[in-house]
Structure 1
Amino acid sequence: MWGAVARRGGGWRGLAAGRPPPAAWSQVVSEAEKIVGYPTSFMSLRCLLSDELSNIAMQVRKLVGTRHPLLDTARGFVYDSRNNLQMRGLVVLLISKAAGPSTADLSFQHNMVSGIYSSQRSLAEITELIHTAFLVHRGIVNIGELKSCDGPLKDMQFGNKMAVLSGDFLLANACTSLAQLQNTKVVELISSAIGDLVQGIYYENSRLSEENCLTDDIGISTWKEQVFLSHSALLAKSCQAAMELAKHSAEMQDMAFQYGKHMSMSHKLHSDLQPFVKESSNDTVVFSLNSAPAVLHQEFLGREAWIKQIKEEKGELKYLGKKCLRDAIGAGRAVPAALELCRHHGARALAALERFPPSEARAALANIVGAASGRS
């Protein structure tokens, strides 16, 4: 399927032929965790082992046998082989260590462990709690769209209540810890990141309602703005907040922000590319109409031609998961353009790192860019 495209793309396919193997990603994470002092997979252990969450975990067991998304989220906390759940906190710790103490704060170096302030470690935990809370909240399903195979209605309603309450509990813990940092600028930064997440998820949900009809008429610039809100803002602002806690300059804070922003954008683009660069003989390939390749394909093709292309095939959008539409998108300019955009954001993340002094932590951050975005 990809032979002709690979020839036209000048060999791009080899670079993005799939996610890095789980072993390669795990190695990058393992090496980075040694640098920051402890495994970030246990970062929120105090909260996750609390009586309240233990109670929630027992209640979630009632959903076994249903298709409620909260079950998949819960499994991900335990079985996520790529450790994506801990990536944000790990990045915050690494960039804290890479920057080191500022000249304005040398008197407080005794508060550092493995080159990281205790307040920065708390910030990393807060970042993870916020991310996890929103993952849990995303497990709320539209009761009106359920099918009999999803599970009994009362169980799905119960799952929605659990998703709301447990997500709120995690978010409340994060906000309490945030206030204890006693830094108004950091509180402002992380609060605005929470607002960005809410706005980004609102955009996502409003577009999901369109997927049974046609994708929104948005260009790649609008797509980038919306993806920043839902996927990049939390990490970017947490990295900036870590610099603020160490009293680093405005320039250093901006470089940390740029790294977090562009690394996560590159990671999202790489994720969106996977259905289009993986060889598959299956008829059904799941991908979003609002993924970067689909948005770029629509932009290159034109709105009217895009609608016509869909209607000419089968006339039903359940067809959009089929292999033939994936082939149509893959045969055009969209996939090479999305890959180039992925490379661009990865390169900008690496460029931001150049302002940090050479160190193991900086090298680990560069390795994370490579592993998260599929760069070789």
Structure 2
Amino acid sequence: MVEAEVPKLASAAEYFFRMGAEGKRFRPTVLLLMATALNVPMPRRPTDAVVDSVSGELRTRQQCIAEITEMIHVASLLHDDVLDDADTRRGIRSLNFAMGNKLAVLAGDFLLSRACVALASLKNTEVVSLLATVVEHLVTGETMQMTTTSDQRYSMEYYMQKTFYKTASLISNSCKAIALLAGQTAEVSMLAFEYGKNLGLAFQLIDDVLDFTGTSTSLGKGSLSDIRHGIVTAPILFAMEEFPELRSVVNRGFDDSANVELALEYLGKSSGIQRTRELAAKHANLASAAIESFPDSDDEDVQKSRRALVELTERVITRSK
């Protein structure tokens, strides 16, 4: 889906889809499991071939959502790395570092355009609207991060809203799109949305923790990257509630490594890491509850996929990278 006429652009667009650089494929995995978890087995008809054809077409359309989601995600990574002047991503050189900012931006734009073409082919206006909203949210979240006032920067509510836009909107709206394509009710579609939203928030909160506790090798990026970019995340926000004097350290900025060390000292004395893990667990439990609220099904494949989605909520909060 990312073929391009110009070889250089094709090489750039495929950069993070190659073996060894493709990442966890977390989002496509969730969406394909969601597809099976929500697909109500069709009643058998005299012509089984017709049933199989309809079922196969639905699966193809849902798989297309998974592919679109991954393209949007990778495009956002390419653009973020340019904005952050990052030199690594997924344990290798970032595209902007390897091929330059201009080509990295164009590759991201190209992936978004291919995602739009694939989205249009589904011919479902509600699904198109959902995924278009995701792109809007990605831009909004990044802008929120760049233009915060002092009060907003230290607001947990503002931080969680920004986190939803930057991370959770993509997976939540994609899960809802999967449900809509399966012909599910508005109630079930919203449960799918809630699963994706809370899973995405839990995922990012653990990322916040790992930025302080992980190593650059396991994370595929430099540890302490957020704080070195002046980005205040949940652990620091919680620590600031216990030690208000930490705010003045953050206000001074982190160009001086001494301020970084001082902030880490306050964080170490606080329960910021623990409280962030607890908040992540809360959202993981909400995601699990959404799956358990799905309509009952005796289908073995449906049940297996639902168990896998619940298991994912546990893995998200216990992962180390």
Query: TM class, shorter-chain normalised?
Result: 0.7 to 0.9
Compute the displacement of 1:193 (Å).
1.0
Q: Corresponding residue for 1:341? A: 279
Q: Corresponding residue for 1:363? A: 307
Q: Corresponding residue for 2:119? A: 178
1:159 has 2:103 as partner: no
1:55 has 2:8 as partner: yes
Compute the displacement of 1:273 (Å).
0.8
Q: Corresponding residue for 2:53? A: 110
1:330 has 2:279 as partner: no
- 8 Å CA contact 2:79–2:108 kept in 1: the answer is yes
Compute the displacement of 1:163 (Å).
1.4
- 8 Å CA contact 1:293–1:338 kept in 2: the answer is yes
Return the structure number with greater relative CO, CA threshold 8 A, min gap 6.
1
1:373 has 2:317 as partner: yes
Q: Corresponding residue for 1:267? A: 203
Distance 1:248 1:218, change over 3 A: same
% same residue = 27
Give the paired residue count: 292
Q: Distance in 1 between matches of 2:61 and 2:263?
A: 49
- The amino acid across from 1:306 in the alignment is L
1:79 has 2:20 as partner: yes
Q: Corresponding residue for 1:98? A: 37
Q: Distance in 2 between matches of 1:126 and 1:277?
A: 32
- 8 Å CA contact 1:276–1:330 kept in 2: the answer is no
Tell me the TM-score normalised to structure 2 length.
0.78
- 8 Å CA contact 2:205–2:276 kept in 1: the answer is yes
Compute the displacement of 1:276 (Å).
3.9
Q: Distance in 2 between matches of 1:367 and 1:333?
A: 27
Q: Corresponding residue for 2:185? A: 249
Q: Which moved more, 1:346-355 or 1:322-331?
A: 322-331
Distance 1:181 1:315, change over 3 A: closer
Compute the displacement of 1:320 (Å).
6.2
- 8 Å CA contact 2:37–2:303 kept in 1: the answer is yes
- 8 Å CA contact 1:286–1:321 kept in 2: the answer is no
Q: Distance in 2 between matches of 1:230 and 1:279?
A: 23
Tell me the TM-score normalised to structure 1 length.
0.67
Distance 1:254 1:78, change over 3 A: same
Q: Corresponding residue for 2:176? A: 240
Which consecutive residues of structure 1, in runs of 5 or more, have no partner in the other structure? 1-46, 61-69, 147-154
Compute the displacement of 1:78 (Å).
3.7
CA RMSD of aligned residues (A): 3.6
Distance 1:316 1:156, change over 3 A: closer
Which residue of 237, 241, 257 maps to 1:295?
Answer: 237
Q: Distance in 2 between matches of 1:199 and 1:323?
A: 31
Compute the displacement of 1:169 (Å).
0.9
- 8 Å CA contact 1:218–1:295 kept in 2: the answer is yes
